Amino acid sequence: MTSIPLKNIWIRRQQCPCGDWKCYVTYEGDSEEASSIASQLVKNDSTTSEAMVSPYVGMVFKSDDDAFEYYGNFARKNGFSIRKERSRLSPQLGIYKRDFVCYRSGFAPMKKKPTGEHHRDRKSVRCGCDAKMYLSKEVVDGVSQWFVVQFSNVHNHELLEDDQVRLLPAYRKIHEADQERILLLSKAGFPIHHIVKVLELEKGIQGGQLPFLERDVRNFVQNRKKVVQENDSLLTEKRENDTLELLEACKGTKEADEDFVYDFTVDENDKVEHIAWSYGDSVHAYTMFGDAVYFDTSYQSITYGVLFGAWLGIDNHGRTIFFGCVLLQDETRRSFSWALQTFVRFMRGRFPQTILTDLDPELRDAIRSELPGTKHVISIWDILPKISSWFSVLPGPRCIEFKSEFDELYRLESSEDFELQWNQMISMFGITTDKHIALLYSFRESWAQSYIKGYFLACMATTIYSKSVDAFFKGIFSAQTCLRSFFEQVGISAKFQNQSHREMQYMHIKTSIPIEEHARSILTPFAFNAFQHELVLAMQYAVSEMANGSYLVQHFKKIEGERLVIWIPEEEQVHCSCKEFESSGLLCRHSLRVYVVKNYFQLPDKYCLNRWRKEGSLDYYDDHIARTSDEEWFQDYQCLTDTLLTESSVTKERSDYVHRELTTQLTRILNEVRNMPECEGVAMDLTFSPTG
């Protein structure tokens, strides 16, 4: 049987989470990029038109293809198209003459109509036009060159304007990316005219401005369906074989690396359904940086019909790190639940403190079920790109106004204010019954600042981190390869992300305050830069001590934005109403202002989280957990306990997380010790009670 090469094409998930299977999402960034490319093409076309020289006798080209392309561009700029007419062949030179002519050259041959059969009488466009460019090949110093030997630009017909010439058959091309999109929409049940409308919206162009017509789309779909029907069984078998090859690759990697972990499920027909995997480095990285996890499910393979999910994090240098990934056959709660269960098992039973995801009702339900103690956050940069697509019914100026209102609503700090202004906003824009507004509102406790303020996000809900994630995916999706090659590419990218380190950076002092010197000595450049930014801004705030020992901190110019900082002197502890420390793990400008007023020369250890320290690197931690003696295991436990208990005193959120973490890690350490050989015949009683 002939092997069918499959291109593994990955695209952004287009199905809208609103539940309407006919509703698709157009991402704002993608539309802007498409518009930018279109604008650039127009600009290039204009430049080319100005600079393009009319062909002339004696003009030289490296190949006949170059000549045809040049003449074709010239023709398009001048309102006609061309075709290849004749060529002549010799044993010594191969093809040595080429004739290119206007598309209206010559006359249509007369066709004899069989009796009794009905044929459409189509009028030919050919009218005997004599515009042409003839070429001849010569070998000069051993190099083949093509010379223009005849050229005429005299037409006996009207030349077309720019908006007409693009509709000539020679220029109506459906590019590969558009072909894949058309087939996907057709498979989803979209009628042809809706497919055309979707493509126009996605490219950000006006109706009728696509480089092809609706009938071209219809013909393409009909022709492709015939080919697909003929090859469907072969393609299905190829996909199944590729999936089995991926499974074999996982097994082979496990044999070579015992720290590699993977799992899979099979369906009722005993065929591979879901596959998940992770690496030893990823599991070790999670031990230090698994407090906040981003589960990205924004890409799917239209070749294999699978959804790709990746668990990512951020290390102490602000780099995206890879924890694991999964290929799912569908996007149901059951599939997401299996993925989450598997991930937690890969990570040795450790639950993240916070998980960030895209907006998906099925995934939300799975998180509630499988990660009940984990805070669920929808990052605003996963919502904003969809706004234009969701509310395209609003005219341009109103859409811009809506985005402004939505952004203001997102930043409100009071849930009561949010509820009030939400109702006012949807009434003002007349979208009270809109299904997307209902969807956003049902998720409000996962994205609105008034609800998620204080959730630990580790600086991940930022555009900088979003761009870092996009760059990571660009690396693994760039090659259109089979699943096994894709698996290998994921491994290469994951290893690069998890093991590469930033070069040493010199961190300049800006304030000369002792606290800044202390922070520079213990924080990574990424964390120090964020800390330093807050410290510099802290100097712009005035401090007023209250009767109870707390402080009101206010900017010297801004009337609004006053913050309450509670000071607990016995524990050297601060709690700011902005909750920046609870969110990022780095002190805010308001708390730092209080420490400066209190004449602190260095920060308490509890406010220098291990995850942001220089010594919190993966190499250090891997060496630390690699010890095997009883005494060193005890040192591990003691060090871990001291660190976690110190951090647990800072916030309730951190305290709850630390309690779970301490129980999990202590159980792991005791299991390791329990499996060690007995020492001089003495067995240890290692019964553990987390509340004891």
Q: What pLDDT, in 10s, does the model give residues 8-66?
A: 667 787 778 887 766 767 665 554 444 443 444 344 444 344 457 899 999 999 999 99
Residue 34 gets the label, from left (phi > 0), alpha (psi -120 to 50) or beta, of alpha
Tokens linked to 640: 């871990």
The helix (H) or strand (E) run that includes residue 199 is helix 192-203
Integer Cα distance of 43 and 80 in angstroms: 20
Pairing of strands 354-357, 375-378: parallel
Is the pTM above the cut of 0.85?
A: no
Print the SS3 string covering 522-544.
HECHHHHHHHHHHHHHHCCEEEE
Vertex 627 angle, CA 621 and 628, to 5°: 150
Cα distances (angstroms) measured from residue 609 to each of 9, 160, 499: 41, 69, 21
Cα distances (angstroms) measured from residue 524 to each of 282, 318, 463, 474, 624: 20, 9, 20, 27, 19
Q: Determine which of 177-181, 266-270, 429-433 has the lowest per-residue pLDDT on average.
A: 177-181
The helix (H) or strand (E) run that includes residue 377 is strand 375-378
State which of 51-60, 364-373, 567-576 shows the largest mean pLDDT: 364-373
CA 105, distance to chain mean position in Å, is 50
- Average pLDDT of the segment spanning 624-650: 47
**What pLDDT digit, counting tens, does each position of 179-194 carry?**
878 887 777 667 888 8
pLDDT band, very low/low/confident/very high, at 666 (cuts 50, 70, 90): low
State which of 431-435, 637-641, 649-653, 660-664 shows the largest mean pLDDT: 431-435
Amino acid at 157: H
Residues in contact with 598: Cβ distance below 8 Å, sequence separation at least 6, in sequence order: 567
- Average pLDDT of the segment spanning 196-212: 81
Parse the chain into domains and list their residue ranges: 59-107+124-165, 172-256, 264-473, 514-620
Report pLDDT for 262: 96
Q: What is the DSSP letter of 360?
A: -
Report pLDDT for 41: 38
Q: Is the pLDDT of residue 452 over 90?
A: yes
Residues in contact with 492: Cβ distance below 8 Å, sequence separation at least 6, in sequence order: none
State which of 236-240, 361-365, 397-401 shows the largest mean pLDDT: 361-365
Mean pLDDT of the chain: 81
- Average pLDDT of the segment spanning 475-494: 80
